[in-house]
Amino acid sequence: MMRCSCKKSITVGAVLFLLTILYLRSTDLEEATEEMDEWHWPVSSVSWVDQGQYLPLNVSYKLLAGTPPTEQKYLTIGLCSVSRPKDGYLISTLSSVFSHSSATELSAMLVVVLLADFDFKWRKSTVKEIRANFPSQLEQGQLIVVHVPKHFYPPLTGLKRNFNDQPARVTFRSKQNVDYSFLLQYCAGLSLLYLQLEDDVSCSKNFLSAIRGRVQQQEKAGRRSWVTLEFSALGYIGKLYHSEHLPLLARFLFLFYQEMPCDFLFSHFRVLLTQGEAIRFTPSLFQHIGTFSSFQGSFNKLKDVDFEEDLYSNPLADVYTDITVYNDQVAALAWSPGTKTFFWGQSPSAGNHLTVVFKEPVVVTSITVETGSAEGRDRLGSATVELGVQAIEEGTGRTCKEFYIIGSLDGGKMKMTDINKKSVGIATSCLRIRVTASQQEWVIIRKIRITTKEE
C-alpha cells in the first residue's frame, strides 16, 4: 500500500515538473515573440496627433434643442453662454450669424451653443427663447443647443491663484476653460473646420465666404499645416481650427484649466503645434458688442478697430493725391482696413483728385466711398467716382490713361453694386475720386472699399 502511494506521488510530481517546464518554455517563447514584434514594428509616417489617437474626455452631453446633422459640414461655429448679471447678448449674436449668411453659406455651417450655466431656470428660459427666435435653423440642422451636467466638471474652487488673481476670478476663468474644452470635444468631427466665437459678437456680412477664401489662399500658397487662423484681434473671438485638432485642444484646455485664461492657452497650443507666429487677417470679421462682462457684470469696452461689417477685397495698390495733406493723415489711410484710419486734406479745389492704382488689374464689382467725420463735418461735397484702364507713369506718381465715370457722391457718400454688369465689366487699373467743385471746408475720406470678381 505504501509502495503504491509512493509511486503515485512520484508520478504526480513528475507530471507537475513537466508542466512547469513546458509553461516556462512557452512564457519565454511569448516574451521572445513580443520582443521581436517590438523591434520589427513598422514605423508610421503619420503622427498620433494626425491620427487622432488620444483619449476622449469622460463627459456626457444633454441635447436641449436641435438635431445633429447626418452629414459633415464645412464649418462648425462654437460658443458657450452663461447667465449674465446684466444684459445678455446670445440672441443678438445668433441673429447676426444667421442674418449675415446666405442660404448657400447656411447650408455649409452648423452653430453649436453650449449653455454652460448650472442654473436650470436660466437654461430653460434661454432654450425657450432660442426656440422662439430660430425655429427654422433648429429644424434644418443649422443650430444645436447642448449642456454638460455639473458632476462632470473638475473642482472649481480652492485652485491655484496664478497671476495673483482673486479666487472668484480664478474660478470663473478655470470654469471657462472647462466649458470650452467640453464644447470642442462635442464639435469634433461635425465639420472640416471649427470657428471659436463668444456669445456677445456681431459678424461681417458673408463671413463664411471670407473665411473660405482665406483658407483657399493658404492652400494655394502650400501652407496647409497651419494650426490657427485668426479673424479678430480680440481674445479668443474668431479663431479657426482644423476639426481633427479639436480633441487634442480639448484635452489641453482640460489639463491646464486652472493655470491661466483660455486665450493664453489657445496661444500656447498654437506654438506647441509649431505655428510660431499668429496668422491674422484684416479686416476683422467679428466685433465684440458686449458692454458688461459675464464675470460679475463688470464694464467691458473692448472693440476691434479693424472690424468692418461689409465684406470687401481691396487689392494691393498705391494711392496718390494732389490735395494738401494734413499732418500724417495720408491718402493711403482711406484705402487701409480699419475704422480709425482716414485721409484728411485741406480745402480741395475743382480738379483735385485721390487716385488708387492697383498693383494688378481687377474687375471691380462694387464700390463704397464714405467721406466726413462721424459728426458730419469735412464731407466732400461734390465729386465723381471713376474707374480707369491702362496704368501709366505721370509726374511723381502713376495714374490711368482713360477713365470712366461710375457715379457721384451724394451727401458725401456713394455705394454701388454690380458695377461689372451695369457699366465697366472689364479689368481696370485705377479708381479715382475727382473733385468737381471747390470748397472751403477741409475733407476727410474715411473709407474707400471695393469688391472684385474672382478669377
10-residue mean pLDDT profile of the chain (455 residues): values are 51 58 52 40 44 66 93 96 86 95 95 96 96 96 95 84 79 91 94 95 91 90 89 88 94 89 89 90 84 56 74 87 94 83 94 96 93 90 95 90 94 91 87 96 94 78
Q: In whole angstroms, what is the distance from residue 115 CA to residue 143 CA?
A: 13
The three three-digit cell numbers of residue 342, written as one number:
482716414
Per the CB < 8 A criterion, the answer to whether 414 and 402 are in contact is: no
Place of cell 474652487: 157
**Contact, 421 vs 377, CB < 8 A?**
no
Residues of the chain with CATH 2.60.120.260: 317-452
| Structure letter (DSSP) for residue 148 | -
Cα–Cα separations (whole angstroms), residue 25 to 13, 28, 175, 318: 18, 5, 55, 82
Q: Which three cell numbers stand for residue 327?
A: 499732418
Crossing angle of helices 262-272 and 167-187, rounded to 10°: 50
* Amino acid at site 255: L
Q: How far apart are CA 360 and CA 453, in angstroms?
A: 13
Please determine, looking at this structure, whether the domain spanning 317-452 carries the CATH number 3.40.228.10. no
Q: Which residues contact 375 (CB under 8 A, 6 or more apart)?
A: none
DSSP 8-state symbol, 83: -
Q: Which residues are within 8 A (CB) of 14 and not within 5 positions of it... i.e. 6 or more apart?
A: none
Supply the CATH classification number for the domain 62-288.
3.90.550.10
Residue 306 main-chain phi, psi, to 5 deg: -95, 5
Contacts of 20 (CB under 8 A, 6+ apart): none
Cis peptide, bond prior to residue 42, ω within 30 of zero:
no
> What backbone phi and psi angles, to 5 degrees, belong to 4?
-65, -45
Grid coordinates representing 179 are 466649458
Helices (H), 336-388: none
Q: Distance between CA 171 and CA 161 in Å, rounded? A: 10
Q: Which residues contact 176 (CB under 8 A, 6 or more apart)?
A: 80, 261, 262
C-alpha cell at 414: 456713394
d(CA 51, CA 247): 11
Q: What is the DSSP letter of 362?
A: E
In which element (H, E) is residue 208 found? helix 207-220
Contact between residue 145 and residue 66 where contact means Cβ atoms under 8 Å apart = yes
Q: First vs last Cα of the chain: how many Å apart?
A: 105
Query: In this structure, what DSSP letter does residue 163 have?
Result: G
Which part of the chain has CATH 3.90.550.10? 62-288
Q: Which residue has the cell 452648423?
A: 110
pLDDT at position 46 = 44
- Residue 292 pLDDT: 57
Full-model pTM? 0.71
